[in-house]
Amino acid sequence: MYVDREAGMANGDTAKRVKLRDRYEIAVDEPLPNFDNPPAVAYKVRHVRDEQRDLIGLICDPKMPTRFDLISALSRVETPYLMNIRDWGIVDWPPEGRRCPVFIFGRPEGTRLMSSLEDTFEPMREEAIVDLFVNPAYQVLRELREHDITHRAIRPTNIYTGGSENGRFTLGECASAAPAIAQPFVYEPIESCLCMPAGRGLGTPSDDLYSLGVTILAMMIGASPCQGMSDQEVLEAKLTKGSYGALTHQTRISLTVMEALRGLLNDDPMERWTTDDLGMWANGRRGSPIQQSMESRASRSFSFMNKDHYTCRELAHTMSTNWDMSVTIIRDGTVDTWLRRALGDDAKVNAMNDAKSVAGEMDTDDNVVARSCIALDPAGPIRFRDFRAIPDGFPNVLAMHSESSGTRNEFAQLMQYNLMGFWDESQPRPRVDLVGLFRDLRRAREVMGRTNIGDGIERVIYDLNPHIPCKSPLVEAYYVIEMDQLLPSMEVMATDEPDTRHLVDRHLAAFIATHFTSHRGNELRDLDNQADPYLPVLASVRLLSNVQEKSRRVIPYPKLANLAASVLEPTIKRFHNRQTRKRIIKAMNEAAESGRLMEVLAAVDNVDVLNNDEQHFHAAMQEYGEATRRLTQLENDKLNRAAIANDLGAQVSSFVSGLLTTIAFIGIFAASFLF
């Protein structure tokens, strides 16, 4: 991935052009609102070497995930009917005051089918719909299927008319935002509508075909279906009548188009038309419209929260939106009785019994309600209070709502309860497409159980979203998505925020743990050290030093090195000798000029110097202790002169007396011997 570090911002916020790789100039003062694809906004782009190219740039929302992982595959899609990426990068963007991703596209020659879903237009003839829209859309979806890509943004406001061969329509781009995040409820299948927008997931080709079916209907009636209805009203209509009935309400439809709509808007993804079915219909093959697949309806309603429910999916939705009130009807068996007597569905009864069969500390109200919603509506998302997502939507939910303590806690709890495992077991058909994701989620469950820095929920966010930028406040504004971008961004950060007192927080540690796995030592463990107050500071600089030294090309970062020296300054207190401290501070400052973090660290973390200082300190302490003991003795002697004199006099007297006695004895003995 490329990052434009020289973004051409010579005049700061007043710059009129932002350069991308010295190849494109994005006109900050020339927005193109007609080509916006919310949340991305469009601006005019000039190719530096070929001004004849008519280009636009979509500036993406830096706080939302984009589909960087699609870029390589999309570049291999060969069709004139898809607005495809010409280039991309990351630039300093004055209107936002930060770095943002930008995608470069060829400017569509036509106009949008609808500027807003509230607009109306002249209804199209069936033949024109098939020729101008269905045939090119079929070619696009077939190409996307071959490259294992889902579009997830098919709607009238993302379609351009008359701009390609023979005036055929062109599908808009699909990479500037998370899949389906901007899709209105009308254009999404029921199970997707039940999710948080970020939790809709990558989806399958079946989801794109559903959106295509709604778009065909919009072209037929000259307006978006269900205009004037709120999202909740659209959802309830789909739950009650099925998608086909809710969207085509009181609309006259020919048998030919009815066949396609019933196939495309089927609420059972396994019975919904495939891309091949669409192609055969577009090429003239006709059959009888299939009967719309509807969920089994009970003989009598289940009344809950002042609503009558006739299907399990309706009841599961109401339970999920009235979480605390649902516990009673689940635990007292009321739902089981309705399933057995009114619906006659023993399989659902058994599923509910499995949902309630949890023991010990897992038997909580939240767990039982979540499992019951899955049992009643296994095709729907995993719901846990306000968290609602298909498993492959989990990564985007975490990426968008990582700062929400509520979302993080709910995700942690549903992982603890292994709701994804229960959801997987409840699926009527194996989800082979999710095997890899479930492996990653099982690993994430283990990682979340570890609380040390570099693990926990932060690590899970980056493990599941390898293409999202680091969310650390230290570098968040610089849009760091790869390790090669980290230190250059921190160099700028050191210039902008010279008073920063720490260099690695939980998000930055988790980002490094995900993207720098092969070159780490014990630094992450040392960052959590509570016994030695200086070790975490040293570990943070050592970790960044490893990143610098293991780069493909070692680049000096003097501003960051000076900031590191400032952050390391408190560790000077480990040294006892004042002259040693002065020498180390001087050595650190000199090393910082080199821009090498390793040299700054070496100046303050030299084991030989530290041990030598410690030895001299202990020797000085011993000498000081001996001197103190002697001084204390002298002071005590000064205060007790009389006692000392008496003791000394007694000792002298005793000595003199003994000496005289000895002399006397010697004299007597000598006299006796001589005489």
* Topology (CATH level 3) of domain 112-282: Transferase(Phosphotransferase); domain 1 (1.10.510)
What is the DSSP code string of 523-558?
HHHHHT-SS-TTHHHHHHHHHHHHHHHTSSS----H
pLDDT attached to residue 523: 87
Nearest residue to 577 (alpha-carbon basis) of 539, 541, 612: 612
Confidence of residue 609 (pLDDT cuts 50, 70, 90): confident
pLDDT attached to residue 155: 97
pLDDT digits (tens, 9 = 90+) for 473-483: 999 999 999 99
d(CA 509, CA 601): 19
What's the Cα-to-Cα distance from 437 to each of 30, 341, 412, 463, rounded to whole Å? 42, 38, 17, 11
* Main-chain phi, psi angles of 354, to 5 degrees: -65, -40
Confidence of residue 674 (pLDDT cuts 50, 70, 90): low
The residue written with tokens 């009344």 in the block is: 303
Tell me which DSSP letter residue 342 carries.
Answer: I
Encoded tokens for 582: 């002065």
Ramachandran bin of 294, using left for φ above 0, alpha for ψ from -120 to 50, beta for the remaining angles: beta
Q: Is the pTM of this model over 0.85?
A: yes
Percent of the chain topping pLDDT 70: 93
Average pLDDT over residues 304-328: 96
Confidence of residue 622 (pLDDT cuts 50, 70, 90): confident
Name the more confident of 361 and 621: 361
pLDDT attached to residue 269: 92
Confidence of residue 675 (pLDDT cuts 50, 70, 90): low
C-alpha distance across the termini of the chain, in Å: 124
In the predicted model, what is the mean pLDDT of the chain? Answer: 89
pLDDT digits (tens, 9 = 90+) for 535-560: 999 999 999 999 999 988 899 999 99
Angle at 500 between CA 494 and CA 505, to 5 degrees: 100
pLDDT digits (tens, 9 = 90+) for 145-159: 999 999 999 999 999
pLDDT digits (tens, 9 = 90+) for 263-290: 999 999 999 999 999 999 999 887 766 7
* Main-chain phi, psi angles of 100, to 5 degrees: -140, 150
Q: How many residues does the chain have?
A: 675
pLDDT digits (tens, 9 = 90+) for 5-22: 344 443 444 468 999 988
What is the DSSP code string of 2-30?
---S----TTGGG-SEEEETTTEEEEEEE
Distance of CA 432 to the CA centre of its chain: 24
The residue written with tokens 């209070």 in the block is: 385
Domain boundaries, the chain: 12-107, 112-282, 302-464, 480-501+516-605, 640-675
pLDDT attached to residue 164: 62
Q: Decide which of 3.30.200.20, 3.30.70.3420, 3.90.79.10, 3.30.300.30 is the CATH code for 12-107.
A: 3.30.200.20
What is the side-by-side order of every strand in the sheet holding 170-171? 111-112, 159-161, 170-171
pLDDT attached to residue 10: 39
Three-state SS at 267: coil
Rounded to 10 degrees, what is the CA torsion of 66, 67, 69, 75? Answer: -120
Confidence of residue 403 (pLDDT cuts 50, 70, 90): confident
pLDDT attached to residue 402: 85
pLDDT attached to residue 37: 94
Name the more confident of 650 and 358: 358
pLDDT digits (tens, 9 = 90+) for 208-262: 999 999 999 999 999 999 999 999 999 999 999 999 999 998 888 988 899 999 9
pLDDT digits (tens, 9 = 90+) for 407-460: 999 999 999 999 999 999 999 888 888 899 999 999 999 999 888 899 999 999
pLDDT attached to residue 109: 85
pLDDT(364) > 90: yes
pLDDT digits (tens, 9 = 90+) for 579-593: 888 998 999 999 999
Residue 358 · residue 331 · CB < 8 Å: no
Residue 176 · residue 40 · CB < 8 Å: yes
pLDDT digits (tens, 9 = 90+) for 46-56: 999 988 899 99
pLDDT attached to residue 4: 46
What's the Cα-to-Cα distance from 295 to each of 8, 193, 231, 370, 632, rounded to whole Å? 58, 17, 21, 21, 95
The residue written with tokens 């603890």 in the block is: 416
Confidence of residue 3 (pLDDT cuts 50, 70, 90): very low
